[in-house]
Structure 1
Amino acid sequence: MTLPAENVSPQLTRNRRLIIVIGVVIPLVIALAAAFIMALWIPELPSPVASHWGTTGPDGYSTVGSVIVLPLLMTLVFAALAAFASWKGGPNGGMLWGHKIMVAASMFLSITLSVTAAGSLAVQRGLENAENAPAIGGIAIAAFPIALVMALFAWLMLPAAEYITSTPVTAKPIAGAATQRVHFSTTTRVGPGVVIIVGAALAALAIALAVQAVSNPEQLLLPAVIGLFVIALAVSTLSWRVTIDQRGLKVRSAIGFPRITIAPDQIESVAVVDVNPMGEFGGYGWRWAPDGRSGIVLSKGDAIEVTRMNGKKFIVTMHDAQLGAETLATVAKK
């Protein structure tokens, strides 16, 4: 059986080339160049080298190999994620603003990590003991504007973002339910593609913690605590429980926190809207859009849009959004 060929427009083809060049090739070349230069310095460096500085000087040490490899590894992982996330493009073949942010962020991350790592080793060349390494605050501060300018350049080199608007359809209360108690409950979760991206990002975090554990175990506690918190938060927000009853709308994560509750007397109107996560919210999860909307955006397609009395709008993507919206409209009307 022959699979049908993908219908790729010239615009999408051009965008994909830009994604590869700007979001993958250039960041990796920068990271590889920095790694090559740092490798040349190995004979001049102490062992171990300083890898973390406190207010009084170096307070963490690791192997020179981990300092060289870690920026390259993180650049590779993020560049791959940026390319994967933006490869399909927008509904009309253009780039969405969320795609542009990820591609530009790949450039920013590569330069920030590479310059900081190379600078931290440059100041240790010729030292017998890494404890005598000078502070690198100036290097880290200098890396930020350089990376920011290059990220801005990457953004400008990409095509204008495709603008997406959604037209909400007002939900009507369920007929004949005015004197009855109504209840709606469902679970909304991210799709397999998002799970792959999150899994890859968490794997990169786990590798970074493993490198820290091998190279500098005495300084592992704080990164491990932060890493475990990030992992728990990410996993908990992949699935949410949505409940609608006489108390209004309640949306809570898999572990029960965070949660959002909107009482019936806070609801001005309820609608169903078609949502594009990358185009309107810049990604998936608990998101905020430039137009002021917020919500739990886990999939592309139908969502409940709740307009509060103060004019703020809250979005929840889900299957059976039409039934859920009608149920919530019924509750809000009572």
Structure 2
Amino acid sequence: MSERHLRAVGADESGGAADEPFGGAEAPELALLTPQQRSELRRAKRAALWAGLILPLVVVVAATAVLLAWSGRLPDPVARHWSGDEPDGFSSQTANLLTYLGLGGGMAVLFGLIGLLGAGQSTQAVWSVMNRIMAAASLTIVTSIMVMAVLTARLQLDLSDARDAPDPGAAPGLSFAVGIALGVLAFFVQPRVRIDAPPGDEPPRLELGETERAVWTGEVRPTRVFGWAMFGTIAAMAAGGLSVWLAEGVGIALWIMLGALLLVVVLLTTHLWFRVRADRDGIEVRSLLGWPAFRAPIGDIARVEVREIAPFAEWGGWGTRWIPGRGVGIVMRTGEGLVVTRRDGRLLALTVDDAATAAALLSAALRRNGEEPSGDAAADDTHDTHDNTEERRS
């Protein structure tokens, strides 16, 4: 029996977009959409713009105006934090105002733009419920922050010393409740529009001899820029732990810092870099540490396709994603990926280089298993192996 080994050629080797922060794909061309889809997408984006950016900024401006109007009646410094029923954190009125202005405005811009631009991260236009969620989350978070700023300031009106400020009581809960209420309303007011990427390309046909086996291996890995960002995060946390140790020695603060650093390292090493293997038995995706691992046996596969993947719009972000009823996405960048559809409709989506070869191998395994892949390519399709390294062993 002969065995064929197919190794994926990475984007760095083949001139791909691995150096782009998140794949670097251009915004979708409207020509890819039907007139009705273009109309629905414009309507959905307009609603998301209002819910996720304009209204949150209006809340920030309104709360800032209230704080400015009260400035003559507030002590300076003002109380910003309470421990129990007594204030224990203070700042000047100017610093307090700038803090809330920065938090509220920054969150509005961050979440609002993510919600708006999430659909523009692929060469195939996609708009999903995640865009509605992020726009609503923007209004929820910003409203909660700014209502809290107004309520805590109200407690200090006409006080000469902020240390006399009373217990904020229900102010935090009320702020959160108002934010949640407006966010839920914003979510349901937005139109229920979903525009999926069109079906991907069917894999080219890979012919195997009766006694020939084939194995394809590849990797799902973060882009270079994303990797450097993660390295910077770990380095900053390590530097913070070192500074705490130098300033205070071994104590609870140091253990908290070390615990947080360990947690981040474990999460990154188990959820950002995966090895992928496809053969006649199906496909297996396993992290560098061996866990977590995801498998799709060949008997459980209904369809294999290669298409553009938009991590945010389809999966709610980058990394290892699980959505109940939809499946698992291991998506580190925007761009070409392998999408395996199970018989129950759940997906296993991977942003992996040379996805076409993996898809062709799995389709060949399905045919050998006596099951023609759904919508498979014509029998006279050919398999182009110029981007692969092949070895034959007898």
TM interval, shorter chain, is 0.5 to 0.7
Aligned match of 1:297: 331
Q: Can you give the 5+ residue segments of structure 2 that lack an aligned partner in the other structure? A: 1-28, 32-37, 241-252, 370-394
Corresponding position: 1:316 with 2:350: yes
Aligned match of 1:126: 158
Corresponding position: 1:86 with 2:142: no
Question: Residues 184 and 79 (structure 1 numbering): CA distance in 2 closer, same or farther, change over 3 Å?
Answer: same
Aligned match of 2:167: 135
Aligned match of 2:58: 29
Deviation at 1:293, TM superposition (A): 0.9
Q: Is the 8 A contact 1:251 1:261 kept in 2?
A: yes
Aligned match of 1:188: 221
The one-letter code matched in structure 2 to 1:109 is I
Q: Is the 8 A contact 1:178 1:330 kept in 2?
A: no
1 CA distance for matches of 2:204 and 2:169? Answer: 56
Q: Is the 8 A contact 1:302 1:317 kept in 2?
A: yes
Question: Residues 190 and 53 (structure 1 numbering): CA distance in 2 closer, same or farther, change over 3 Å?
Answer: farther
Q: Is the 8 A contact 1:97 1:278 kept in 2?
A: no
Aligned match of 2:94: 65
Q: TM-score under structure 1 normalisation?
A: 0.67
Corresponding position: 1:146 with 2:178: yes
2 CA distance for matches of 1:28 and 1:234? Answer: 34
Q: Is the 8 A contact 2:298 2:365 kept in 1?
A: no
Aligned match of 1:218: none
CA-to-partner distance for each residue in 1:203-237, whole Å, 9 max, x for gaps?
xxx9xx9xxxxxxxxxxx69x95997898789779
Structure with more contact order per residue of length (Cα contacts < 8 Å, sep ≥ 6)? 2
Q: Is the 8 A contact 2:270 2:292 kept in 1?
A: no
1 CA distance for matches of 2:207 and 2:85? Answer: 67
Deviation at 1:325, TM superposition (A): 4.7
1:175 to 196, 203, 208: 208
Find the residue that maps to 1:60 and give its secondary structure: strand
Q: Which moved more, 1:281-290 or 1:30-39?
A: 281-290
2 CA distance for matches of 1:186 and 1:28? Answer: 42
Aligned match of 1:212: none
2 CA distance for matches of 1:283 and 1:232? Answer: 19
Q: TM-score under structure 2 normalisation?
A: 0.59
Q: Is the 8 A contact 1:304 1:315 kept in 2?
A: yes
Deviation at 1:146, TM superposition (A): 1.7
Question: Residues 265 and 10 (structure 1 numbering): CA distance in 2 closer, same or farther, change over 3 Å?
Answer: closer
Q: Is the 8 A contact 1:53 1:59 kept in 2?
A: yes
Deviation at 1:159, TM superposition (A): 1.8
Aligned match of 1:214: none
CA-to-partner distance for each residue in 1:120-176, whole Å, 9 max, x for gaps?
222122334433332324111112222222222222332222153776879999835
Count of equivalent residues: 302
CA-to-partner distance for each residue in 1:22-68, whole Å, 9 max, x for gaps?
32222111111111211233333334333223335333333333332
Question: Residues 93 and 124 (structure 1 numbering): CA distance in 2 closer, same or farther, change over 3 Å?
Answer: same
Q: Matched residues, percent identical?
A: 22
Larger radius of gyration: 2
Q: Can you give the 5+ residue segments of structure 1 that lack an aligned partner in the other structure? A: 1-5, 210-220
CA-to-partner distance for each residue in 1:231-261, whole Å, 9 max, x for gaps?
8789779953434289973443xxx679422
Aligned match of 1:46: 75
Corresponding position: 1:286 with 2:320: yes
Corresponding position: 1:161 with 2:193: yes
Aligned match of 2:373: none
Question: Residues 171 and 98 (structure 1 numbering): CA distance in 2 closer, same or farther, change over 3 Å?
Answer: farther
Find the residue that maps to 1:302 and give its secondary structure: strand
Aligned match of 2:130: 98
Question: Residues 143 and 241 (structure 1 numbering): CA distance in 2 closer, same or farther, change over 3 Å?
Answer: same
The one-letter code matched in structure 1 to 2:105 is L
Corresponding position: 1:271 with 2:304: yes
Root-mean-square deviation (Å): 4.7
Q: Is the 8 A contact 1:15 1:94 kept in 2?
A: no
Question: Residues 261 and 156 (structure 1 numbering): CA distance in 2 closer, same or farther, change over 3 Å?
Answer: closer
Find the residue that maps to 1:319 and give its secondary structure: coil
2 CA distance for matches of 1:119 and 1:276? Answer: 41
The one-letter code matched in structure 2 to 1:75 is G
